[in-house]
Structure formats: C-alpha cells, structure tokens
Structure 1
Amino acid sequence: MSYPFGGRSHYSVIIVGGGQAGLSLSHCLQQRGVDHLVIEKRSLVHSWRTQRWDSFCLVTPNWQCQLPGWGYLGDDPHGFMVKEQINEWLAGFVAHVKAPAIEGVTVERVSRNPATGERERFSVQTDAGTYTADQVVVASGGYHRPIVPRLAEKLPPHVAQYHSAQYRNAAQLPEGAVLVVGCGQSGAQIAEDLHLAGRKVHLATGNAPRCARFYRGREVVDWLADMKYYDMPVTEHPLREGVRDNTNHYVTGRDGGRDIDLRRFAQEGMELYGLLSGFDGRSFELQPNLRDNLDSADATYNRINASIDKFIATQGIEAPPPSVYTPVWEPAEERTRLDLAAAGITSVVWCIGFSPDFEWVDAPVFNGRGAPVHRRGVTNEPGLYFLGLPWLHTWGSGRFSGVARDAEFLTQAILQRSDEKRAGGVTAAVAELRAA
C-alpha cells in the first residue's frame, strides 16, 4: 500500500477511532510532540452526524462541552445545542486539532507484532495495509452493534423496523401507530418526538431511571457539579464498576430543557406497557411491571432531588423550597398483550442500545462479557489503552465534559511507558499509574 504522511508505517502511538476521544488524545499528544496516527473507519466525529435523529439535542448544558483547547463558544452556556449546532462545534474542534488522521480505513486486528516477533511492538492490520506502533489506544467508543432482539425476526414483513440509530423523524415512518421499545434516553426522547408529531405511540418501558431538569431554581446538572458528583471516580461510586452497565437517566434539553414524565404522556394518550418479552405471531407479550418501572424511575428522581436538598441545607444556600414528585397518572391495570393488528401498529423503533465489539483487539484484557478490564484506561497489557468509554474514570468519561481529563491522563501514561522502555524496566511513575 501507499502509506500517508511521508510513507511511514510505524508510529510511536496509533489511535483507533476519530471521535471526540481519539481527537482529544491527538491534541494532547501533539502538545507533547509525540508522533502518532489516528485511524478512523468512517469520517472524523461521524456518529454525531449519522446516528442522531433530526430533533436531537444535548441533554447536558452547553457549558459542559469542554474538549481539549475547545470549549463551548456560544452565548447560551445553560442551553442545549441542537444537532446542527453540535456538528458545527465539532467541525471546529476537528479543524482546531488538525490530527494526523486517515479516514475510511477499518482496523481489522490489533495484536503484538506477529511478523517479526517483536513483543515490544503492536501490529495494526487494516483493510488498507498493516502498521506497527509502540503503543495503541482504542478510542472507538463502546456503542458498536445496534441491539435488536431475535423476536424482531418474527414480525410480519409489512411492519417497518428501525433501530434508534436509524430513526430521523416521524415522517420517515409509514402511517399508523408506532411501538417504541425501551425508555432510556433515546427511547424516551424518540417517543416524545413521535408523540409531539401527533403519532399514536405505544411505549414498552424498561428499568431506566429519570431525573429532573430543573430543581430549586437551578439546572440539576449545576447542583450536581457543585456537589462534585462529576469528579467522583468510578472507584468511589457505590456501585463501583457496576455503574458502567447502568442505563442513563432520561431527561431532555428540547425547547430549553424539561423533564420527561412518561405518566404525563399517558395522560395525553400515549399507551404505556411493561418490558417487552416476546411476540407470538399476532400479539406482543409484555411483562406486568409497568407500575414498578414508573415507580422506580420516580424514586430515582426524588432521591437525586433529596441529595440536592441535603447539600443546600449543609451549605446554608438560599434557594426556593424543596418538593417531592407525586405521580400524575397511575396505570389502571398491567396489560401483558398488545395485538399488532388491533392497535394498528405499522412500525417499531428499537431503542434498547448498543453492544461493544472489541473482537478485533487480540489481547488478554477482557472479562467474560467482552468488556475491557482497565484502570482509568490503562490495561495490564503494557502499551495498550482504552479511552472514551462510559465511566472509564468518571461520569463524564464518555462525554464532552470528561474526556479531556482522561486524554491528558493517558498522555502521561504513554509518556511514562516510553520512559519505562528506554530505562529497560518499570519506572516508579508507571508503577504509580498502574496502581491508581
């Protein structure tokens, strides 16, 4: 093959993935003069352009958009950028970083260099040729394979099916009622989008939690930031690494930001059900747990607000009085069957997330579920790192708010690994990083 950038095939560092995580690390490495290459399967920051619906907006305020050397530039720090604004801001970040990157190239395998037996080098095989690197950072995210259950295969062919990554707007779907499956951030917001467009929506819920948008005179995110929640490392979270498997709280930044209350949607005509568990050829089968799902979400909502109440009291802050959410609607019964034809359902939107795909990383760094084992992105395989994963270190690790801090940390780990190799052993600094 013809290698770019002067025909080089070896780099000190290769970064796999050109999203905000990979570009953040590229920025940090450039600041330290470390030669590297970013390899992106599609185009830089492509997922923000291709995997978001038309009305998509941030669910965190604009002031939390803090990539390395590139913070939020607008005049509405407490607003929520919409899709077009997000992509414009990210395009500016791409231009700011000027990463040494190749696009449209798929990494097929990362392993210790098998051709020469050089254990100190990695082989990075792509569909455009093979590179080698002293160190490799996997920054491809954790949302690779759209999850669609096998029961989808049982649905009749006239029912249009979409994953949340494919959904754009209500007009995209055929006329008729829509079943939305899942009520995490994507499911709740897509259900709302369809509901506001006047479509008849049936929503199969899950155990997703929810939170308030505003409470006691401020954005809830502002309160949590003052409470240092976003600085809490995963090692100090009550759930430890288990928090990485949690579903995100549903809330929206749409129209300036507001709560998403599924009970209110039900008052307005949306049909709510428990967890979808099957399809018998005629009817969807649902678990009788709608009431539990709604109650659990509300309990989380009130628990977060109660923690804010405690903080306000402890700090002696003047604020509007506290409140407790009380349900505005209760299900009259638990419905366990939904007849496809009788309900007039012509489309289904699957909003049950993504699964990671790291099969191309040939290294003993994964647990039994295929998730990488690491401490703040540093694995036990010397020179191999992960970046941009949810709760890699803090709540913001997979978001615009925390990836810069993680990228800076990995930059230090990469530099210290280089020092270790030159010294011919493990330096005290590297040993400290591994134990951190």
Structure 2
Amino acid sequence: MSAPLPTFVPVAVVGGGQAGLSLSAHLKTRGIEHLVLEKSTAMHVWADRRWDNFCLVTPNWQCDLPGHPYEGPDPDGFMRKPEILAYLAAFREKVDPPLLEGTAVTHVFPHPLGGFTVETSAGTLRADQVVGASGGYTVPIMPSYAGDLPASIAQIHSEEYRNAAQLPPGPVLVVGSGQSGAQIAEDLHLAGRQVHLAVGNAPRCARFYRGRDVVTWLADMNYYDMPVDMHPLREGVRDNTNHYVTGRDGGRDIDLRRFATEGMRLYGQLDGYEQGTLRFLPTLGKSLDEADRVYNGINASIDRFIDEMGIEAPPPSAYEPVWKPDAEPLRLDLAAEGIAAIVWCIGFRPDFGWLQAPVFTSQGHPLHKRGVTEVPGLYFLGLPWLHTWGSGRFSSVGRDAAHLAERIEEALSVARSPARLAAVG
C-alpha cells in the first residue's frame, strides 16, 4: 500500500510481521477498517536477521497462519530460509493488508478526548484502538564491556551473522547457547572453524524420540494448547530461554558434549573482561547437566503418555553424557588463543519506548491478559507466551489474532467514535 497517512483509522496496528498481518487478516474478515504501520518492510526480520543456513526448529505442519496452512510436500520437515520467505510472501499476498511500509511509529499516547494519538515518521493520525504487534525481540543485547575489547576482534550480534565466510579467518567465540547460539556454533563448527562457546543456562530437547518428532508428541499431549495461567511457572515462563535443537539436514539433536569431543571448546557463563582476558563462571558442568536433565525429563513425560494411552512405540531410552569437563576453564586469553571474532548470542529486549501508557512492569514488559491491557483500546500481539507456547510463532499467532479481533470488534463503535469525530470535525 502506498498512500498518504490518513487523519483517522479505527484500528492502528504497529508492526508488519506475521503477528500484525495475522491480525489484519482477521480484521478484514470482520470488515473492520484498520491500518498496519511498519517501519521497514513487512516481515523483513526473516530476511534481514537470519543466517543463511537458518531453518525452522518446529515441523512445517505447525505453520498455520490465518488462511495459510503449510501445504508443501514435507509437513514433517523443517523449512529453510528461502522456503520460509516464500511461505511468508504468499501469506502477505493472500492477506493483502492495508499496509504502510517505511513508516515508523514514534509515539502513541491516549488522547484526552478518547482513543489515541499516533505519531509517525509520515505524520500524525488518531485511532480508536491500537495494537502493539512489534514483537518482544527488538533490540539486540550487547554487554557493556564489548567496546573495551581489542579493535582487532570482529564483533557481531547473532542478528548480523550470515555464514562462517563472513568472519575473518581464525577461531571464533560464540557467547550464548540458546537456540541462536547453539545453532550458530554448530554452523561454524560444520564449516571447519575452531569454535569457543560460552554456555548459558538454556535447556535442550530431543529432536526425535521413540519414532516421532518430540514436537509431535508434545502436540498430542496438548502441551502447546496450555494457557500461560495453567503453566506451572505461570507468567514466569515468559522469561525462560528456549530449548536448543535444530531442524537442519532433516532435524537432529544439538549435543554440546559431542561438539566438545570433536574439538569445540566449552566454557561456563561469561562473567566479564579485563586486560585482554575474558572471565567465566564455573557453571559449565552444571549447565550441561541441567540441559540433559530437561532433555531426559521431556522424554520421560512422553514415556508416561505412551504408557497411559497404550501406544505402540520403540522402547524408551535416556541420554548418557558422552563428555564431561575435567576442569572448568575460567579464563580465555583472546590474543593467545588467536580469537578473530565474537558472535554475541545473548538475546534481545523489547522496545516499547514509543508507547506512553501505564501498561508495563518495572522491567519494561507489557502487562496484559491474552493481549488485552487495562487501558481500553490498547492491545499486544505476537509476544512469547502471550497466551500459549505458540503465541509468538507461526503455530498459534493466528489464534491469538482471532481472539483480539473479536475483542476489538466488541469494543469498537465507529458511529460514536470520539477519535473519528475529532479527526474529521
């Protein structure tokens, strides 16, 4: 859509990713006028912030955006980056959203006469309802001492990583072992690079167990339909690090211990930097053990399900460590080890600085009930565990969008809209 910014719109959706376009699809179905505002291009993150060998870690059958389920030839496979981009391009074409790209939302605040004022790089408009669909992974996190490291060492965040050839020759330190860190470390390792990996507290899970993908087992166990208020951790689960596993080459486990037997150097959590040396905490053994405990625990829950349902399946098994650290390395001399590059994989933080409304915790996280805030007409969509595990993913973001579209329709009364009357009056 290329058109001037209107003075009023009943619903302004901030963010043109899969969440914003999913909501647009449901609003269009309900005949609700709206506008999606995107500072870059729709769903650009998948093209601009993913490495070349990136692939989904959940099976293709879980891709179920509104009116756009996966219909390819490999439902149990894992789409790679080009296939993901094609899937999303087809989704955008189906939705044909009212979309303004290259339009950054700079400020949103309640208007004293009702509704909201939405200030953008293209001008200002009024809206009765506003949906923050810009996601929870916005600003890359870098440590405060990154600037103190030698200038000879190339430093990039995971969102900038594309492939091993992008980095200068020599050993590479990857910091963080969540989904991105573990997969980037593997990508570099498979490319023949000497990898040093600072291991965090991320859990892991099996790719396949007892003859099926673990995701398929968990789906049959209704894990992915569990609402956040029924989870044992309640809202605390939103702070959890995702399990590391991969869909690469048809899918497999990521076993950091096996990488160590193949020459990858593992460390505990990074603790700081001084005079050319990085410090690490003695947490490596504990982190590996805890990740394996979660791995075996998930498999044990599948065992119980199989027994309860009387399902015929291959016999159970438990992971046994193939490597243990003899002594935990606590220091890394960057020059002595010839470290040429560091890839920071320590996550992102949300950025809702454009939204002036009392709907945030002291840490800046949105307060909501399934995306609905206590400020009338203000919503969030696409956040991790907004309602269920799949809320920020292709599997369930459409379901959350349908819920918000229903809430918006209930709350919206265009005929008596104070924002519309003020905008056109």
TM-score by length of 1: 0.94
Secondary structure of 2:124's counterpart equals strand
Check whether the contact 1:22–1:387 (CA below 8 A) recurs between aligned residues: yes
- Does the 8 A contact of 2:377 with 2:408 survive in 1? yes
1:10–1:132 CA contact under 8 A, matched in 2: yes
Output the amino acid matched with 2:60: N
Task: For residue 422 of structure 1, report the CA deviation from its aligned partner.
Answer: 6.0
Deviations 1:72-92 (A, max 9, x none): 121100000000000011000
Which residue is equivalent to 1:296?
290
Matches within 5 A, 1:144-293: 144-293=138-287
- Whole-angstrom CA distance in 2 between matches of 1:44 and 1:4: 13
- Rounded Cα–Cα distance in structure 2 between residues aligned with 1:350 and 1:278: 13
The unaligned stretches of length 5 or more in structure 1 are: 425-436
Give how far 1:353 is off.
0.5
Contact 2:5–2:122 (Cα < 8 Å) also in 1: no
Residues 77 and 98 (structure 1 numbering): CA distance in 2 closer, same or farther, change over 3 Å?
A: same
User: Aligned in 2, Cα 1:122/1:344: closer, same or farther, shift over 3 Å?
Assistant: same
Offset of 1:179 from its aligned partner? 0.3
Classify the secondary structure of the residue corresponding to 1:130: strand
CA distance in 2, matches of 1:174, 1:243: 38
SS in 2 for 1:23: helix
| Residue 420 of structure 1: how far off its partner (Å) | 11
- 2:10–2:414 CA contact under 8 A, matched in 1: no
Q: In the alignment, which residue of structure 2 is the partner of 1:103?
A: 101
Q: CA separation of 1:370/1:47 partners in 2, compared to 1, >3 Å: closer, same or farther?
A: same
Task: Tell me how far apart the structure 2 counterparts of residues 382 and 346 of structure 1 sit (CA, whole Å).
Answer: 52
> Take 1:93 and 1:79, find their aligned partners in 2: how far apart are those partners?
19
Structure 1 Cα separation of the partners of residues 327 and 138 of structure 2: 37
2:374 to 369, 375, 380: 380
CA distance 1:304–1:7, shift in 2 (3 Å) = closer
Q: Where does residue 19 of structure 1 map in the other structure? A: 17
Whole-Å Cα distance in 1 between the matches of residues 99 and 268 of structure 2?
A: 46
Secondary structure (helix, strand or coil) at the match of 2:159 reads coil
Mapped to 2, the partners of 1:56 and 1:322 lie a distance apart of: 31
How far residue 329 of structure 1 moved from its aligned partner, in angstroms, is 0.4
Equivalent residue runs for 1:339-358 within 5 Å? 339-358=333-352
**For the residues of structure 1 that align with 2:44 and 2:276, how far apart are their CA atoms?**
39
Determine the structure 2 residue equivalent to 1:89. 87
Task: Flag the 1:199–1:7 CA change in 2: closer, same or farther, 3 A.
Answer: closer
1:117-139 Cα shifts (integer Å, max 9, x gaps)? 31x22100001100111100000
Does the aligned pair in 2 maintain the 1:146–1:354 contact within 8 Å? yes
Report SS of the residue matched to 1:12. strand
Residue 80 of structure 1 aligns with an amino acid whose one-letter code is F
- Deviation of residue 5 (structure 1)? 5.0
Displacement of 1:8 after TM fit?
A: 2.9
> Which residue matches 2:31?
33
Counterpart position of 1:429? none
What is the number of equivalent residue pairs in this alignment?
418
- Letter of the 1:367 counterpart: T
* Cα offsets for 1:51-84 (capped at 9, x unmatched): 0000000000000000000011211000000000
User: Given residue 346 of structure 1, which amino acid in structure 2 is its aligned partner?
Assistant: A
Q: Deviations over 1:294-352 (max 9, x none)?
A: 00000000000000000000001010000010100000101101111111101000000
2:3 and 2:100 in contact (8 A); partners too: no
The 1:289/1:6 distance shift into structure 2, 3 A limit, reads closer
Structure 2 distance, partners of 1:20, 1:167, is 22
Q: Distance in 2 between matches of 1:246 and 1:187?
A: 15
RMSD: 1.5
2:163–2:188 CA contact under 8 A, matched in 1: yes
Q: Deviations over 1:126-167 (max 9, x none)?
A: 011001111000000011110000121110100000000000
Distance 1:176 1:8 in 2: 53
Q: Kindly report structure 1 stretches of 4+ aligned residues shifted beyond 2 Å.
A: 3-8, 419-424
- Which has the higher relative contact order, 1 or 2, with Cα contacts under 8 A spaced 6 or more apart? 2
| 2: CA distance, partners of 1:255 / 1:412 | 40
* One of 34, 42, 45 as aligned partner of 1:44: 42
Query: What does the per-residue CA deviation read over 1:199-256, in whole Å, with 9 as the maximum and x for residues that have no partner?
Result: 0000000000000000000000000000000000000000000000000000000000
Q: Is the 8 Å Cα contact of residues 154 and 281 (structure 1) preserved in structure 2? A: no
Q: TM-score, normalised by structure 2?
A: 0.96
1:131, 1:195 → 2: CA distance? Answer: 50
Contact 1:43 1:103 survives alignment (8 Å): yes
CA contact 1:51–1:166 (8 Å) conserved in 2 = yes
User: 2: distance between equivalents of 1:348 and 1:418?
Assistant: 50
Task: Report the Cα distance in structure 1 between the residues aligned to 2:124 and 2:308, rounded to whole angstroms.
Answer: 58
2:69 equivalent in structure 1: 71
Q: Distance in 2 between matches of 1:43 and 1:243?
A: 31
| Identical aligned residues as a percent | 64
Equivalent-residue separation in structure 2 for 1:318 and 1:54 (angstroms)? 39
